């Protein structure tokens, strides 16, 4: 219930932000109005003693969020994917938010597994360890299947986590409504929409069947990718509050000393992680949205292994083509084409000047091309690009922001493996392969074949649709039909003929 009782929760939240020094940092990042600043600080300052002290070794905002508990930690993680809301600096701070919390008792984990799967733990597993990792929503146990002897990871939601999150989300909604009323400048950040987005993400993560489905889909998409593995889901031992998957055995991506000791080729690893990410985003339209060091390991054969699929990015095919054209345009330094793509996609209002936009893009790209290879950053390019497009009236697109954020993270992982990696050179083959496969005659034929497939499904209804369309035209007043205009049925038949012709041509070729 989003009522005034939420004020008590918000007062403790404000007190914690005030006590840790995070209040000023957060308000600056949000570009809050003087009225909102004054109201929040007036409420929070007298209650500083109620605030949690947090860990003084952390930056102020991450210190406050970590002290406030699971829902706030998860909210901070999701805000790290929205630099358009909190700014680049704060997004980077939130990106490294430590998601480590005390584990809950073994008895509770075992009870939840049995209640969810209907199988006693000792019957399913010959071994079931103490928690090896505890996060804001769940904790992980290492186990061994009794039937096959295979090692698995068992992820179990925290007891009553749904109720705890709903209570805090209720307070977030109340705070968003309050901010919306008090500050016109902050209203442009759409606080209510941000909280609604957070609620949707968290409610999805609280159903581990959805994460298991994402892992299975990602595994199928990437099954043919050399040097990359996704752990297999054990569906018999998974459910809404429990997920079991193959155990990931390998060296953490951040442990450079161990990678060197094991003899892994870090230069190849750096190139591979970047190319794999681009391939997944462009080819499949589904990419790991949280591909940082902590979610990657390298096995004995040098394969990259990804896990933790709570945040997955999705891009529709049209947006992927636009993104690829933008990237290849920058790689080839064809700034006018990059500008045209933005206008064709409707990202920039049609009343703006294409040549002026191309000039602004050149000002973004040329300095980056003049840098030493070790300093070239695609993440920096995307950041500058969004700054320019904002000046030219481009509206925020959430899926591109997640892509940008993940690109920055993946680039950081690649540079950990190889500090001298040339981002452009590593990216070019993947982008050019995509351009070759999804543009030109082959792509046209494929699109026409899909169109024909859609029309074929409506084939039995075509006579009825034709008759209905003609009847409607006959019933229109003569004055309405005085000026000639395109007839829907004519365009339908022309489109069908073109599509079927394309299919036949594709078959002949």
The two most distant CA atoms of the chain are separated, in Å, by 84
Crossing angle (nearest 10°) for helices 88-95 and 70-79: 130
Burial class for 483, CB neighbours closer than 10 Å (0-12, 13-18, 19+): exposed
Cβ atoms of residues 180 and 187 within 8 Å: yes
Query: What are the tokens at 112?
Result: 């939840």
Calpha distance 197→485 (Å, rounded): 43
Closest C-alpha among 323, 327, 333, 400 to residue 367: 333
User: Strand order of the sheet with strand 228-229?
Assistant: 228-229, 304-306, 296-298, 251-252
Measure the CA angle with vertex 332, ends 327 and 334; round to 5°. 90
CA distances to 236, 287, 298, 332, 408 from 309, rounded to whole Å, are 19, 10, 17, 34, 18
Q: How many CA atoms lie within 13 A of 321 on its CB side?
A: 13
At 181, which helix (H) or strand (E)? helix 161-182
**312, containing H or E segment:** strand 312-314
396, 389 Cβ separation under 8 angstroms: no
* Whole-number Å distance between alpha carbons of 306 and 466: 52
The phi and psi torsions of 271 (rounded to 5 degrees) equal -65, -40
3-state SS string for 467-499:
HHHHHHHHHCCCCCCCCCCCCHHHHHHHHHHHH
Tokens describing residue 224: 């043919």
> What totals of helices (H) and strands (E) does the chain contain, helices first?
24, 10
DSSP 8-state secondary structure symbol assigned to residue 87: -
CA–CA dist 98, 178 (Å, integer): 29
- The catalytic position among 84, 168, 225, 290 is 290
Looking only at the bridges linking them, the beta strands covering 228-229 and 304-306 are parallel
Q: Is 28 a catalytic residue?
A: no
Residues 6+ apart with CB under 8 A from 183: 32, 33, 35, 36
Query: Residue 71: CB partners within 8 Å, gap ≥ 6?
Result: 136, 164, 165, 168, 169, 172, 202
Which active-site residues does the annotation give? 290
């Amino acid at each position: 219930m989003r009522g005034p009782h939420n004020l008590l929760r918000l007062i403790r939240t404000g007190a914690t932000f005030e006590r840790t020094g995070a209040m000023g940092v957060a308000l600056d990042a949000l570009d809050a109005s003087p009225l909102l600043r004054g109201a929040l600080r007036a409420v929070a300052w007298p209650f500083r003693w109620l605030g949690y002290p947090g860990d003084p070794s952390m930056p102020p905002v991450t210190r406050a969020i970590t002290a406030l508990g699971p829902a706030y930690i998860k909210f901070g993680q999701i805000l790290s994917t929205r630099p358009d809301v909190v700014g680049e600096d704060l997004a980077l701070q939130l990106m490294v938010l430590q998601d480590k919390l005390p584990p809950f008792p073994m008895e509770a984990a075992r009870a939840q597994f049995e209640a969810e799967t209907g199988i006693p733990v000792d019957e399913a597993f010959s071994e079931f360890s103490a928690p090896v990792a505890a996060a804001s929503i769940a904790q992980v146990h290492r186990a061994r299947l009794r039937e096959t002897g295979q090692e698995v990871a068992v992820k179990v939601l925290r007891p009553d986590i749904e109720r705890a999150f709903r209570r805090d989300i209720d307070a977030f909604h109340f705070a968003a409504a309050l901010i919306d009323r008090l500050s016109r400048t902050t209203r442009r950040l759409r606080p209510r929409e941000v909280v609604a987005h957070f609620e949707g993400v968290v409610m999805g993560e609280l159903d581990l069947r959805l994460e298991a489905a994402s892992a299975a889909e990602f595994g199928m998409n990437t099954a043919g990718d050399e040097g990359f593995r996704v752990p297999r889901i054990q569906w018999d031992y998974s459910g809404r509050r429990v997920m079991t998957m193959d155990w990931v055995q390998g060296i953490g991506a951040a442990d450079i000393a161990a990678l060197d000791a094991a003899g892994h080729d870090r230069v190849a690893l750096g190139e591979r992680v970047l190319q794999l990410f681009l391939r997944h985003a462009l080819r499949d339209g589904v990419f790991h949205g949280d591909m940082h060091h902590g979610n990657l390991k390298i096995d004995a054969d040098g394969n990259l292994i990804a896990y933790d699929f709570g945040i997955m990015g999705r891009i529709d095919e049209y947006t992927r083509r636009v993104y690829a054209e933008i990237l290849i345009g920058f790689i080839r330094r064809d700034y006018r084409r990059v500008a045209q793509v933005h206008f064709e996609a409707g990202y920039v209002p049609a009343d703006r000047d294409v040549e002026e936009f191309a000039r602004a893009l050149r000002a973004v790209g040329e300095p980056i091309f003049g840098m030493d290879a070790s300093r070239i950053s695609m993440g920096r390019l995307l950041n500058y690009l969004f700054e320019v497009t904002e000046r030219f009236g481009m509206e925020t697109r959430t899926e591109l922001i997640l892509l940008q954020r993940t690109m920055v993270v993946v680039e950081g992982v690649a540079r950990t493996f190889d500090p001298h990696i040339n981002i452009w050179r590593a990216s070019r083959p993947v982008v050019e392969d995509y351009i070759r496969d999804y543009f030109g005659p082959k792509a046209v034929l494929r699109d026409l074949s899909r169109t024909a497939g859609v029309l074929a499904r409506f084939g039995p209804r075509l006579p009825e649709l034709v008759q209905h369309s003609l009847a409607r035209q006959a019933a229109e007043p003569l004055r309405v039909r005085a000026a000639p205009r395109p007839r829907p049925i004519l365009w339908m038949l022309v489109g069908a003929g073109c599509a079927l012709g394309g299919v036949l041509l594709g078959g002949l070729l």
